[in-house]
Amino acid sequence: MEGLGNIIVCLKVVPKPEEVKFNPETKTVDRSKATNEINPPDKNALEEALRLKEKYGGRVIVVSMGPPFWEPYLKLAVAMGADDAVLVSDRALAGSDTLPTTLTLARAIQKIGGYSVILCGEESSDGSTGQVPQGVAEWLGVPHVTFVSKIIEIRDGKALIQRTIKGGHEILEVPLPFVAAIELGANTPRFPDFRRKRWAEREFKPKVWSIADLGLAPEEVGFKGSATEVVGLEEIKPPERLKKVITGPPERIAEELAKAILEEL
């Protein structure tokens, strides 16, 4: 295995939060009219992976489970410096909760093989469960570290990892291979290389795998393979501002304001 071998980055494409709508009938997220982006902390995970590659050697491979329209975002990751990208895409995956999602990602990582470090973002901006990194680690039977702000060093088959805790951070020693969930803002993701971007857009093709390629049956994924079901969905709108202007001498304004606050309590 050269350097760290395969450094895996789990990358999700998410609709911009402000453009997401909910479909109350199917109780699913309606992304059809939203513009998409790479889930922001996943860019931090990719940057961390690229830095590890530069320091220790290895190959950075991006893995996604999602629909075919995610391909351009995988190409963007390659333009940023990833060596390869795998998209697991299959209609049977629709409706998967985190259980089949993590199973599918873990199977894809096992198929890639030769991995030492698996990096995820800390949380997606749409599903926001923060369960995927731990789930992937459990299926693979490897340790995982959450809220990672920095991978300090990798030496003698172990990594020194800095993770954020309330009021500070702690440093953990973890044996390879491991999964780490990288915090949003842990680093500054690099811009895609212009020439590499053009090459990736025109020539690079991510590997596209179906569930059959991963030895998974349709009942293990999707709604059937999920342990949870969305049974209710409610949109919470932020309260409207009253837009009331209080005028007069300062004492009267203070009095009116205090009265208005008390009424709201």
Ligand X SMILES: Cc1cc2nc3c(=O)[nH]c(=O)nc-3n(C[C@H](O)[C@H](O)[C@H](O)COP(=O)(O)OP(=O)(O)OC[C@H]3O[C@@H](n4cnc5c(N)ncnc54)[C@H](O)[C@@H]3O)c2cc1C
Q: Which spans of this chain sit near ligand X (rule: CB under 6 A)? A: 10-12, 28-29, 39, 41-42, 45, 64-66, 94-98, 101, 105, 120-121, 123-124, 126-133, 226, 228-230
> Tokens representing 15?
């609709």
CB of 255 to ligand X, least distance (A): 47
CB of 157 to ligand X, least distance (A): 24
In whole angstroms, what is the distance from residue 172 CA to residue 159 CA? 8
Which CB, 86 or 200, lies closer to ligand X?
Answer: 86
CB of 197 to ligand X, least distance (A): 21
In whole angstroms, what is the distance from residue 21 CA to residue 24 CA? 9
Position with the least CB separation from ligand X? 127
Which CB, 102 or 116, lies closer to ligand X?
Answer: 102
Which CB, 17 or 248, lies closer to ligand X?
Answer: 17
Going by the DSSP 8-state scheme, the letter that residue 127 receives in this structure is: S
Neighbours of 49 (CB within 10 A): 29
Which CB, 198 or 224, lies closer to ligand X?
Answer: 224
Q: Count Cβ atoms within 10 A of the Cβ of residue 137 and give its class: 0-12 exposed, 13-18 middle, 19 or more buried.
A: buried
Going 217 to 68 to 223 to 225, the CA torsion angle's sign is positive
Which CB, 5 or 41, lies closer to ligand X?
Answer: 41
CB of 205 to ligand X, least distance (A): 18
CB of 67 to ligand X, least distance (A): 8
Q: Which residue's entry shows tokens 């995982």?
A: 144
Q: Strand, coil or helix: what is 252?
A: helix
